[in-house]
Chain A
Amino acid sequence: MEKDKIEALLEKYWNAETTLEEERVVKQYLESNDPEEKLMPEKEWFGAVSDFKSLEGKTVGFSAAIDKPLIKRMPLAVVLKIAASILLVIAASFWLVSYRSALAERDLALQKKVEADLFSISKTLNQANTGLNEIIKFKSDVKTQND
C-alpha cells in the first residue's frame, strides 16, 4: 500500500506537482527503506539532492598544483631601487657625454686661439722687420742722394 503511495508520489514529483511535505515523505521512505531495484535511481537522485543541499552556502574551493615561477616575484622596494640605479646610470652617462663634448669644444676653441695668436705674432714680427727695412732703405736712399 505504502509502496503504491510512494510510486504515486514519485510520479507527481517527476511531474513537479508534489508539495514540500510530499517530497519529504518520499525522501524519508527512500532513506529509511531498502527500496526495490526499480526505485534505486530515485534513491540515488534524492541522495544526490541531499548532498547538494548540504553544500549550499559553503564556498567550494578548487586547488591545483602549479609549478613555481623561475624568477620569484620581487618586492616593489627592490624594483624601485633597481629602476633608480638604472636611471642614475643613464643620466650620468648622458651628463658625462655632454660634459666631454663641451670640453672637446673648449679644447678645439683653445687650439684655434693658439694658432690664431701664433699667426698674429708672426705677422706682427714680419711687419716689424718690413718697417725696419723700409727705414734702412729710406736712410740709404737719402745718403745716396746727398752723395
Chain B
Amino acid sequence: MKTIIAYFSLLLTMVSFSYGQQKPADNAETMIDLYFKSYSGESKYQINTMGEAMVKRTNEMGMWTHPSIARIMKQVKTYKYLNFNSSPENLQKIIAQVSAAANKGNIYKEYFRWETNDVVSSVIYTKGDKKITELDYITLNKGHISVSCFIGDNIDMESIRSLVANK
C-alpha cells in the first residue's frame, strides 16, 4: 500500500510539474483579458498561452524556423491568442466595441487598421509609448475572429515589418 501511495505521489508531482511548465509566469493583463473576456460565451471561444518559460525554452532550443523570427521572439516574453466564432455582423460590432474601449481606456493605441468597404479585416494595436510592451493583432475572417498578443519589454515593430522582406 505504501508503494502504491508513493507511486501516486510521484505521478502527481510529475503532472503538477508538467502543468507548471505551461503556466505563464507573467500574469499581466493583456488586451484579451481586458476587452475580450466578456465574449467568453461565444462559440468555440478558446485562449492559448505560450508562457515565459515556454517562449524561453523555444528560444534556447532554436526551434524557430527563421532567424528573423528567433530575433523577434527574443524581445517577446509571453504570447497569448484567442479565437472564437460569431456572425460577421456581430464580429464587426465586437471590433467597434473593442475600438471604443481602447480609445477610452487610453492604454492601447491603434497602430494600423485594414478596412475594405467599411468592413474591418485586421487591426494592430500597441501598448507603450517609447517602448512597445504589447503588440495585439486582431483578424476577422468569415465569422471567425483571432486575437494574438505578444508581450515583451521592447518589441521592435521594424523588425516585424521587415520579416517578409528578409524571408
**Which positions in A face B, CB cutoff 8 Å?**
81, 84-85, 88-89, 92, 96, 99-100, 103, 106-107, 110-111, 113-115, 117-129
Q: Name the interface residues of B6-24: CB closer than 8 Å to any CB of A.
A: 7, 11, 14-15, 18, 22
Interface segment among B34-42, B92-100, B101-109, B158-166: the answer is B158-166
- Chain A residues near B79 (CB, 8 Å)? 110, 114
Cβ-neighbour of A119 out of B11, B124, B164 (below 8 A): B164
CB distance from B163 to the nearest CB of A (A): 4
> A114 with B124: in contact, given A85-B7, A129-B161 (CB under 8 Å)?
no
> A122 with B139: in contact, given A85-B7, A107-B54, A115-B69 (CB under 8 Å)?
no
CB distance from A35 to the nearest CB of B (A): 77
Question: In the docked arrangement, what's the CA distance between A81 and B137, Å?
Answer: 56
CB distance from A90 to the nearest CB of B (A): 11
B72 at the interface (CB under 8 A from A): yes
Closest 9 CB pairs of A and B: A122-B163, A125-B161, A122-B164, A117-B148, A110-B50, A128-B112, A121-B137, A92-B11, A123-B164
Q: Is the CB of B139 within 8 A of A115?
A: no
- Chain B residues near A115 (CB, 8 Å)? 64-66, 69
B133 at the interface (CB under 8 A from A): no
| Best-buried of B65, B73, B139, B163 by chain A (most CB within 10 Å) | B163
Question: In the docked arrangement, what's the CA distance between A123 and B124, Å?
Answer: 12
Given contacts A85-B7, A115-B65, 13 further A-B contacts (CB under 8 A): A89-B7, A106-B48, A107-B58, A110-B50, A113-B81, A113-B148, A118-B72, A118-B160, A121-B160, A123-B164, A124-B122, A125-B160, A126-B164
